[in-house]
Structure 1
């Protein structure tokens, strides 16, 4: 018998309240959807937005692209939601993200990029991590995209985006979720017996030749001062 999903509370986040902006700025997300008939250029932008949301810009490489999926989306053989799910379940996402993160970081990343929000709390992170361990990664992804939250926010036709990133008091260093680079944590490296990948050696600093003290420079004799005892009177 599978383990039931752990219950967790819904803490207040920006995406759960209505905005009060009179003149929304450039930080408002641009919505990419197939609800209207798109031109070829607009479809290219939608596909690029899907890649950027799932992989982030620094992970969009030649081998992360799937031309067959793109073709299916262009000819309405699959929906935008199908396209997003296929990218997350792809071998590229597995190599770049799943194999380099533990389940807790993976939950945080997928909730951010699929539901467009951060995890509510540590208990939600734990609940979905248990789902991955018990039922597998694909069941976890299906659970997210078939949730009422995803259907209400994006449906079958809209590329997920970070909902209401603007804060009442701007946080220093705030960046979009899909631009956060996944890191190989120390705990994950220890578990995989790859601790040697994490360097613990001190960083050596290079000093240019022209900045080194020359012969006769008083700085050369500063180390000698503590060794000189004062003369007794």
Structure 2
């Protein structure tokens, strides 16, 4: 039985406040297909979509058919995002490796461009994820009024209002706050652990032999020598007439 989305109280977040500031370098660059004038701009939109959902897309993770349909206008950016969230790559490399709370938080951050409204929203979306699966949650988010107002049909989702006016550094990106493996699966995998599969390099036996000439070999012998005369003496040779010791040669000779 499919459960409706539970009610949760929105919390005050930076993404809910209109940006009353001058633009900066940290402002997100919206990637929109309706503004793509050439193939290079289209590639930028496609790469932004892959980074938004997969963090990084390898060559084997790319879907050339979807990319071609997006370039030809057969599907929208929202449809492209939906297909990436329902792809085998997302299911195999993320959904199967995390619990429902982590997946719900990840989809909200990636698709709505904001953090979740506390633990209550994570529980609400995890209930949808439990009863209707990833497809049901992705459809609800992409069909929501919040998503359509923020990104529409042709804009790739991004981290909204990341710059905070009262701080020098903005909000931490989602790929750092929500890594691929959190404490749940790091504990299962036994992370962190050091695995060394190579062989330790050892010095050969001939390199450990003392062949003479090392200063350390003469240190015991030096300690047995009597103390030198005048070493450390305060008077020294300060009274010597050095000029009388120097031989004099006349210029006429």
Question: How far apart, CA to CA, are the structure 1 residues paired with 2:145 and 2:11?
Answer: 17
Q: Does 1:8 align with 2:8?
A: yes
TM (norm. structure 2) is 0.71
Which residue in the other structure is 1:40 paired with? 39
- The alpha-carbon distance between structure 1 residues 113 and 136, as it changes in their structure 2 partners (threshold 3 A), is same
Which residue in the other structure is 1:141 paired with? 138
Per-residue deviation at 1:35? 2.3
Question: How far apart, CA to CA, are the structure 2 residues paired with 1:46 and 1:201?
Answer: 38
Question: How far apart, CA to CA, are the structure 2 residues paired with 1:36 and 1:62?
Answer: 26
Per-residue deviation at 1:24? 1.1
Instruction: Find the partner of 1:96 among 88, 93, 97.
Output: 93
SS in 2 for 1:127: helix
Q: Can you list the C-alpha shifts for 1:70-110, whole angstroms capped at 9, x where unaligned?
A: 00101001100000110111111111111111000001111
Over the residues paired in the alignment, what is the CA RMSD in angstroms? 2.8
Q: Does 1:181 align with 2:179?
A: yes
Question: How far apart, CA to CA, are the structure 2 residues paired with 1:132 and 1:29?
Answer: 29
Q: Which has the higher contact order (CA 8 A, sep 6+)?
A: 1
Structure with the greater alpha carbon radius of gyration: 2
TM (norm. structure 1) is 0.77
Q: Can you list the C-alpha shifts for 1:31-63, whole angstroms capped at 9, x where unaligned?
A: 11122352111001111111111111xx32111
Question: How far apart, CA to CA, are the structure 1 residues paired with 2:194 and 2:81?
Answer: 42
Point out where structure 1 has 5 or more consecutive residues left out of the alignment. Answer: 204-208, 215-233
Per-residue deviation at 1:5? 1.8
Question: How far apart, CA to CA, are the structure 2 residues paired with 1:200 and 1:51?
Answer: 28
Paired residues for 1:1-233 under 5 Å: 1-21=1-21, 23-36=22-35, 38-56=37-55, 59-170=56-167, 174-178=171-175, 180-186=178-184, 188=185, 195=188, 197-199=189-191
User: Aligned residues, how many?
Assistant: 200
